[in-house]
Amino acid sequence: MKLARLGPIGQEKPALIDSKGRARDLSSVVPDISGEALASGLVARLAGLDPASLPLIPEGTRIGAAVSGVGKFICVGLNYRDHAKESGIAPPDEPVLFMKATSALCGPNDAIIIPLGSQKTDWEVELGVVIGQTARHVSVETALDHVAGYMVINDLSERAFQLEQGGQWVKGKSCDTFGPVGPWLVTSDEIPDPQALSLWLEVNGTRHQNGHTRNMVFDVAFLVSYISRFMTLCPGDIISTGTPAGVGLGFRPPVYLKPGDRMELGIESDAGLSLGRQTQTCRAYGS
């Protein structure tokens, strides 16, 4: 099942994507695609619903962030061996965790704003995990039972803010528009193995990232279990699970985004199921 939110910023409607890729309005069924809705058994309720009974949302309607009311946006650093290598860092012995401000969240095709003073804005395609049931000290074996679904994330980063100005990574990760998520939340029943997914990203039509979740240092089940030791994972929380090699920082010399650049990125399962694509154009701050 593919769930989405469509409409102008702040006025998004919950939607179900039908078998023909059309968005069906779920407003009569649920107020929004939120952690509260997911925890209350939304997916099970929708399983018996005939999508044809729901009104269509017009094609071309803006796609918003796939989940609303996100409490925590948790990110995992250096979680692909090839990305750690291109960064000149050994793979970590334990997951590297940091937070991304929820104010960075935006729609999957919204414009990316290059921050004021930025010279080093970078791209990172990642698999996003959305929590569906409260997870606190859960085992690896039961961790995926707490996952509502998966989605595409571009974990944009300003490398100077992140690495050259002291403090923690969060300030290089949290600029406005640095968290495009979606286009859909693909429910976990559609993705039985999150380690069987390919990820890719292109800039201006050139493929820079080609990765696979089997190359994660720490798999999704371990990450959910591990993070739940340190904080309660609540319905609607997002975990961004790391990026494969091919980021701009890894080029020699590094290559970064500039106004007018266009990114396209996506994730597909080995079985051929798409988690959707994102397309973003970069804009200068204030333009």
The label of the residue with tokens 């999150």 reads 194
What average pLDDT is seen over the chain?
96
Task: Give the domain 68-284 fold.
Answer: Fumarylacetoacetate hydrolase; domain 2 (3.90.850)
Mean pLDDT of 154-162: 96
| Segment 207-266, tens digit of pLDDT | 999 999 999 999 999 999 999 999 999 999 999 999 999 999 999 999 999 999 999 999
The pair of three-digit structure tokens given for residue 129, joined into one six-digit string? 């995990």
Quote the pLDDT of residue 165: 87
Q: How far is CA 35 from CA 61, 72, 118, 129, 146, in A?
A: 23, 11, 34, 12, 12
Categorize the per-residue pLDDT at 168 as very low, low, confident or very high, splitting at 50, 70 and 90. confident
Quote the pLDDT of residue 90: 85
Q: Tell me if the bond preceding 180 is cis, omega within 30° of 0.
A: no
For residue 151, give every residue at least 6 positions away whose Cβ sits within 8 Å of its Cβ, in sequence order, or none.
Answer: 66, 67, 128, 130, 181, 182, 183, 184, 185, 186, 275, 276
Q: Is residue 32 over pLDDT 90?
A: yes
Sign, CA dihedral 35-41-43-48, equals: negative
How much is the CA Rg of the chain, to the nearest whole Å? 18
Q: Tell me if the bond preceding 91 is cis, omega within 30° of 0.
A: no
Q: How many residues does the chain have?
A: 287
CA 242 to chain centre: 10
Categorize the per-residue pLDDT at 135 as very low, low, confident or very high, splitting at 50, 70 and 90. very high
Mean pLDDT of 152-176: 94
